[in-house]
Amino acid sequence: MKPTQSKPAPAEPGEPATALDLLFVGAGEVFSDGAARTGVVVGVRGADIVYVGPADAAPAAREVIDLKGGLLTPGLVDPHTHLVFAGDRAGEYAERSAGTSYLEIARRGGGIARTMHATRAASVETLMALARPRLDQLLQCGVTTAEVKSGYGLTPADERKMLEVVRRLDAEHPIDLVATFLGAHTVPPGVDRARYLDAVVGEMLPDIAEAGLAEFCDVFIEKGAFDIAEGRRVLEAGLKYGLRPKVHADQLSAGGGAELAAEVGAVSADHLEHISSTGIDALAAAGTVAVLLPGAAMFLGSDDRAPARALADRGVPVALSTDCNPGTCHSTNLLLMLTLGMSRLGLTPAEVLDAVTVHAARAVGREAVAGRIAPGRPADLAIFDVATHRHLPYHFGMLPTRAVYKAGRQVYPTAA
């Protein structure tokens, strides 16, 4: 994680020491933490928000930015991506559209294995060059924090290579990147299952943890991937090495992944199209965030929908994400996921905004520094050319982003 604190610039001669660097005025709405406020201005000093309130009580500012009726939100958070990869699977998409199932394509060597081969063959520099435009596209959606998983290397060296790419991208790109180790994505073709799991637990996890290359450990619980006992073994080993658990759960079939996530205290359980009622209650009791990925089911041509309404009504924090990956959701459009969160999952406009701010920040362990507009928090802000938070998902498939600020500095659009 990049540092978000900075010293305020020194006051100019004759200027009060308490002067703001930036004052955002004229918002149609300021949306944060489920509430849309009008008549509110936001003041920034250095990297931090220091004032949120009425204009007539705001300190003086060196620069006043008139939003002219636009929407001001926290910088958005994308809590589930696989955006470091090489190759593409456009041919598989065509096959699926013609009726071939995802599992059938995977059984004959496609799916994750196809991306694995391309990613293994790519250098660090190539993977970085491929990932940068994807990050730029997320930034254009207003994203200032994003999670990135490994899982396309599936050897100790190649998993480490992917996470090294994430570290280097984090150092150079405005978006804060949160790294997740997903060595338990699938068993590579031709590799003994037991030996591969031994390598994940005994080689990859200690190496990744010692190098400080990941914060989270994830596992794909699904037919053709890993079962509950295998997933528990990986996640408990990750905890031993200080990596907090996440779970790919109940995506293509009901497999008890949500219950496992709750059992191990996972920060998030992701997908959940086939979660059981017991699983919903378990997540609520554990305080685990449900990260829903409506673009994936749509891209797969499936009518399966995660029960977002039931999750939210039973007290589970709901986040939304792109699931950006080459096989099942080749998209970086997080704003589109807001629309799908309403149209396909039944969430309200305020709920889908919370799902990519306050709840998404919690899903990646950044609840203290991302996802809210409040004094004392980093000035990660997004400005949209829409009048209210209700209009952001309403503008279907569009990118109405006017500007993005990271730690008080404008990072989109950048100067030519």
Here the tokens at position 240 are: 């031993």
Peptide bond into 245 cis (omega under 30): no
Residue count (the chain)? 416
Nearest to 295 by CA among 278, 271, 279, 274: 271
Specify the residue for token string 């010692």. 210
DSSP class per residue in 22-79: EEEE--SEEEETTEEESS-EEEEETTEEEEEE-GGGPPPEEEEEE-TT-EEEEPEEE-
CA distances from 247 to 88, 97, 110, 302, 415 (A): 25, 28, 23, 21, 40
Specify the residue for token string 């596992």. 219
Q: What is the distance between the alpha carbons of residues 169 and 21, in angstroms, rounded to a whole number? A: 28
Cβ atoms < 10 Å from Cβ of 271: 29
- Helix, strand, coil share (%) of the chain residues, nearest 5: 35, 25, 40
CA distances from 280 to 142, 250, 316 (A): 30, 11, 8
Check if the beta carbon of residue 56 is closer than 8 Å to that of residue 13: no
Average pLDDT, the chain: 94
Beta bridge partners of 329: 325
Beta bridge partners of 143: 76
Q: Sheet holding 244-249: strands in order across?
A: 76-78, 143-149, 176-184, 216-220, 244-249, 268-271, 289-292, 318-320
Q: What is the distance between the alpha carbons of residues 380 and 49, in angstroms, rounded to a whole number? A: 9
Here the tokens at position 83 are: 């955006």
Domains delineated in the chain: 20-73+372-412 (2.30.40.10), 76-363 (3.20.20.140)
| pLDDT of 325 above 80 | yes
- Determine the distance from the C-alpha atom of residue 248 to the mean position of all C-alpha atoms in its chain, rounded to a whole number: 14
Whole-structure pTM value: 0.95
Q: Which tens digits make up the pLDDT trace of 79-131?
A: 999 999 999 988 888 988 888 887 788 777 788 889 999 999 999 999 999 99
Percent of the chain with pLDDT over 90: 87
Here the tokens at position 140 are: 């254009």
Q: What is the distance between the alpha carbons of residues 151 and 136, in angstroms, rounded to a whole number? A: 22
Q: 1: pLDDT confidence band, cut at 50, 70 and 90?
A: low
Beta bridge partners of 76: 143
- What average pLDDT does the segment 138-154 reach? 98
Q: What is the distance between the alpha carbons of residues 90 and 330, in angstroms, rounded to a whole number? A: 9
Q: Which tens digits make up the pLDDT trace of 152-200?
A: 999 999 999 999 999 999 999 999 999 999 999 999 999 999 999 999 9
Q: What is the distance between the alpha carbons of residues 107 and 414, in angstroms, rounded to a whole number? A: 45
Q: 16: pLDDT confidence band, cut at 50, 70 and 90?
A: very low
Task: Look at 7-11, 275-279, 300-304, 355-359 and tell me which has the smallest mean pLDDT.
Answer: 7-11
- What average pLDDT does the segment 302-315 reach? 97
- DSSP assignment letter at 202: I
- Determine the distance from the C-alpha atom of residue 188 to the mean position of all C-alpha atoms in its chain, rounded to a whole number: 26
| pLDDT of 70 above 80 | yes
Nearest to 312 by CA among 10, 125, 34, 7: 34
Q: What is the distance between the alpha carbons of residues 9 and 384, in angstroms, rounded to a whole number? A: 27
DSSP class per residue in 105-146: HHHTT-THHHHHHHHHHS-HHHHHHHHHHHHHHHHHTTEEEE
Q: Give the pLDDT of residue 10.
A: 44
